[in-house]
Amino acid sequence: MGIHNRDSFHNMDAIIKFGKRFLVVLLCAVLSLTVVPVRVFAEEQAGDDYYAQAEERKNLEIQSNQIKGWPEGPAIGAEAAILIEADTGTILYSKNIYEHLYPASITKLMTGLLAYERLSMDDMVPFSATAVYSIEYGSASIGIDPGEAMTVEQSLYALFVASANEVAAGLAEKIAGSLDKFAEMMTIRARQLGCRNTHFTNSNGLFNEKHYTCAYDMAQIAREFFSHEELCTIANTSMYYMPSSDTQPDEFTLFNKHKLINGEIEYEGIVGGKTGYVEKSRQTLVTCAERDGMKLICVILKEESPNQFYDTVELFDYGFNNFRKLKISDHEKKYTISNPGFMRVGKDIYGSNSIPFTISGKGSVCIPNEMSFDSLTSEVVYDEQAEDTVRETVESGENAEEKSSDKKVIGTITYKYGDLSVGQTQILFTGTLAAPANADAAEGATSEIAAEAEPEKYGTAHYSENISFTDGIKYFFKGILHSGANGTMYLDVPALLLLIIIVSAILIVVILILSYMAYIARRRRRSRRRRRKKKK
């Protein structure tokens, strides 16, 4: 009996152990059927949400489509996008271009620009432990170790072909001495390029809430970047072989992930570009392409892969198919030597055939194919040194063409379609002048030019600090009715009105004085009469 009970006890113990194992297996099976599918579903759902958000963003307003007579641009899934013509700066397409967004690795356009501007391609870039270990684990890198070094040229290829974050940090230390100082330098350079909605905190674009930009600002940075041929070559490289050296022992090949550069998406005329991605920014992309003398820059912010590339292709097609670039000097009729509205000079000095002012042959406008040049409005702004440029040339008898280009430029003509700037050109002082025998005549001519060039400073009176008050009065009256370069007489209406106002003011003052004197005389007469009455 006792043995039987003992055997029963052992059998029961075995059943309990079996039950525990069965429960463990059953629990694992349940978890595998519930927890794992939920986790996978959650990841897929998150991805679906991002693409759904991108689809919704196609309904956002495209500001350039609100311009009357402007070609209608495509609806894309990016939160913000811009397409500009690089030479003129004309904004062809705009969607939320001033919204603060995170740039990710397109930040490296500014890093590369500063490296190009401040370093030689043969300079060595050492990599400190700070540079190597400051980047996030798993982020883009080429595996440089502390103590190794590469040339600036190799570093730039690593920066743009492989988007190497530690290389960006190494360049930052090489240029500024520290990562923080370089970030400050980046922000200052952005301000110099006209960026007002950009703040950088690092050289590589890794996420930081205070590291932001906007599509317009990135276009301005890219515009400067792609103006340098050597940087264009580097940023348009699909594959780069990195050899080993005494300062870097490994050899490896780098591959570019930009699909318009590596050939995955073929597109004619690509000049260069840079990809970007962090979770908060989503996909970002900057690309430059050129066809038939028109260079376009496209910036895409907050899009989903691979649509950032297809958005870019769509915008490039929109730009190249709907716009054209015109040379201003081939179409301009208003600002010519024969037109007195261009600039007024004294005929007695220059003569009708030797007026030395013209517009630059380099200026261009970018306008829709169906738009005529004559439909544009223009605004003239003269340089503060315009008078000095003219006077120095007249007095010295030098040829202005022999002077430096910054002295020849005396103003700028900006062309607009509505409120949108579409291009500009410069007003040049380029003639060969001999100093006139009559020095007073020379002064009269330069002050007359100055009055036309800087009406805010000189007013309608043709005043020069080098002439006497009497001469100034003479030139003022001379300016009211004057002879243009072609011999035609012109009436300066503002000067005439000013003269009428001055004369009227003088008359009023005289009348007030006379009235006051008459009043005093009457009081004195009354006072005498009272005294006489009292005596009687």
> CA dist 125 to 160, 171, 499, Å?
16, 6, 69
Residue located via tokens 């002879």 = 483
Q: What is the DSSP string of 152-198?
A: HHHHHHHHHHS--HHHHHHHHHHHHSSHHHHHHHHHHHHHHTT-SS-
* CA-based nearest residue to 309, from 334, 339, 340, 283: 283
How confident is the model at residue 43, as a pLDDT? 32
Q: Which residues pair with 241 in a beta bridge?
A: 253
| Neighbour-count burial for 369-403, b at 16+ CB within 10 Å, e otherwise | eebeeeebebebebbeebbebbbebbeeeeebeeb
Beta carbons within 8 Å of 487's beta carbon, 6+ residues apart: 347, 352
How confident is the model at residue 476, as a pLDDT? 62
Which stretches of 279-382 are DSSP H helices?
307-322, 328-331, 347-350
How confident is the model at residue 533, as a pLDDT? 75
Contact 335, 342 (CB under 8 A): yes
How confident is the model at residue 125, as a pLDDT? 98
Instruction: For the chain, 536 residues long, give each residue's pLDDT as a single digit of tens.
Output: 444 444 444 444 544 444 545 444 444 544 443 333 332 333 333 467 999 999 999 999 999 999 999 999 999 999 999 999 999 999 999 999 999 999 999 999 999 999 999 999 999 999 999 999 999 988 999 999 999 999 999 999 999 999 999 999 999 999 999 999 999 999 999 999 999 999 999 999 999 999 999 999 999 999 999 999 999 999 999 999 999 999 999 999 999 999 999 999 999 999 999 999 999 999 999 999 999 899 999 999 999 999 999 999 999 999 999 999 999 999 987 765 445 444 544 433 334 444 567 788 889 999 999 999 999 999 988 877 666 666 666 556 555 444 444 447 788 999 999 999 999 998 887 654 444 444 444 344 344 434 444 444 433 333 333 445 565 666 566 666 654 434 445 566 677 788 888 888 898 998 999 988 888 888 888 888 877 777 76
What is the DSSP code (8-state) at residue 212? Answer: B
Contact 342, 357 (CB under 8 A): yes
Q: What's the CA dihedral at 314, 315, 317, 320 to 10 degrees? A: 180
Indicate the residue type of 251: E
Domains defined along the chain, listed by start: 63-327 (3.40.710.10), 332-491 (no CATH)
Which stretches of 384-468 are DSSP H helices?
386-396, 405-408, 439-453, 455-458
- For the chain, give the number of residues: 536
How confident is the model at residue 391, as a pLDDT? 64
Contact 184, 124 (CB under 8 A): no
* Helix (H) or strand (E) run with residue 516 in it: helix 493-535
Global model pTM greater than 0.85: no
How confident is the model at residue 471, as a pLDDT? 58
What is the DSSP code (8-state) at residue 115? Answer: H
How confident is the model at residue 69, as a pLDDT? 93
Distance CA 209, CA 103 (A): 11
At 497-522, the pLDDT tens digits run: 888 888 888 989 989 999 888 888 88
CA distance between the termini of the chain: 169
* CA-based nearest residue to 233, from 298, 308, 152, 156: 156
Distance CA 163, CA 282 (A): 16
Distance CA 62, CA 96 (A): 7
The Cβ of residue 33 has, within 10 Å, a number of other Cβ atoms equal to 10
